[in-house]
Amino acid sequence: MMKAIEYLLSIDLNYIVIGLIAVFFTLEHLLSTQFSFTDRGKHFWNSFLFQIVFLIGNIFWAIAFVFCIEWLNQKEIGLFFLIEIPVWLKLILGVMLLDLATYWFHRISHLVPLIWRFHRVHHSDTTMDSSSYFRSHPIEVLFWFGSAPILMSAIFGFDLLTIGMYFLVATPFLVIEHSNLRFPSWSDKTIGLVFTTPNLHKIHHDQDQYYTDSNFADIFILWDRIFGTFKYKPAEEVKLGLVEFDEPKKQTFWYLIRSPFINIEKI
């Protein structure tokens, strides 16, 4: 079992992401989609540019990230260095605790105006599909995405195996959650009791701030249910994006890159 896990974790995560995007992007073209596109070509081009920036940012982020985790492990910093627990239990706890930390970091990115300036780039997408997973400002990718795992490693002593397992589980969730495919409503009332379903995550991308500030969890929607941020509305009633980014000129790659440094009034 551990050999299988180690083999999966040895695969470059970028290859996994690209493979998932290719599969779901193809399905979105072949099957009935949930949200219509007014200009799919322009959306694809924007997504492609964000994908390139995302992957390049991941390279620099990974170097610093691995250095920090290895340094913490060498110094034996964290609670798991004080207790003896099986590897399988450490992996399960690691995935759950890292997802909990990501929930809070995600929630903070909506509450702190400076961080929201960068995070709103992800929410500005009015025609979401699986490639929207990449639609994040490079500064947010470099300085914010790795903060939760590093902090949790300092507290609990997570190693690269545990963190790798978290990303291996979280990445498919994130790609599927952003996909422009129809999912049955019954999945929200069954799977959605514990896990984040695509319909529940799309509510998080609704233009209405009441819904935007909800359903923050990447894997376990349970965190939103526990901490009072769970919201529900039928998927067909969701209107994606941010009102202040509705104009076509505000959907271009270069505008979105500059947008955190522009005073855009929240509507």
105-119 tens-digit pLDDT:
999 999 999 999 999
Average pLDDT over residues 161-189: 90
**How far apart, in whole angstroms, are the C-alpha atoms of residue 215 and residue 13?**
25
Average pLDDT over residues 121-146: 86
The pairs formed by 195-204 with CB atoms below 8 angstroms and a separation of 24 or more are 195/219, 195/220, 195/221, 195/222, 196/220, 196/221, 197/221, 199/235, 200/232, 201/177, 202/34, 202/128, 202/177, 202/235, 202/238, 202/240, 203/231, 203/232, 203/233, 203/235, 203/238
220, amino acid identity: F
Give the model's confidence band at 67: pLDDT under 50 very low, under 70 low, under 90 confident, else very high. very high
Q: How much of the chain exceeds pLDDT 90, in percent?
A: 51
User: Computed from CA positions of residues 155, 161, 166, 171, in that sequence, does the dihedral angle turn out positive or negative?
Assistant: positive
Q: Residue 100 pLDDT more than 90?
A: yes
Give the model's confidence band at 6: pLDDT under 50 very low, under 70 low, under 90 confident, else very high. low
Residue length of the chain: 267
pLDDT, residue 32, reads 56
4, amino acid identity: A
pLDDT, residue 77, reads 94
> How high is the mean pLDDT of the chain?
86
pLDDT, residue 5, reads 52
Q: Residue 31 pLDDT more than 70?
A: no
Q: Residue 41 pLDDT more than 70?
A: no
pLDDT, residue 223, reads 98
More confident residue, 17 or 158: 158
